[in-house]
Structure 1
Amino acid sequence: MLLAVLLQAAAAAGSLGKVAAAIGAGLVAIGAGLGIGKIGGAAMEAIARQPEASGDIRMNMIIIAALVEGVALFAVLICFLAL
């Protein structure tokens, strides 16, 4: 009897882990989108304030956005591996 209860709990925990991994992947995608949007908005505001520094600001924006996207991709892959 106890073994049946333990097996049911293990099966339920497995499906709960899949749901948690899917939610985690979604949250990572939303967080990365918000972060890159904030980076772009701040860069456009900085370029509007100092147009002569637009090249440096744009280069830094692209580097930071690439780093955020790389971290997001890594986090999504970890969530999918948890499935």
Structure 2
Amino acid sequence: MSDITDDILAELLPRALTASELLRRPRLAHVPAHIVHDALDALVDVGVLVALPIERNDSGYLVTGIPLPAPADEPAIPAFLLK
């Protein structure tokens, strides 16, 4: 999953994109939509991305670059993203 998060961040660094736009990018076109959405949610949860509501079923995502500190008993990045 870390390859997917790397691809998401590489696509989002130069500009904000919606989830739908990310799913059409060549780096992520082969990844199932639910995996991309799970990765986006996790990156929002740790503060690497901010979600911007765009449409009813779509959000834009912008890299903040500053992860939120995790509680002492939790890793900063969820374990499933590190695999």
Higher helix share: 1
Same fold? TM cut 0.5: no
TM-score, structure 1 as length reference: 0.25
Q: Which has the higher contact order (CA 8 A, sep 6+)?
A: 1
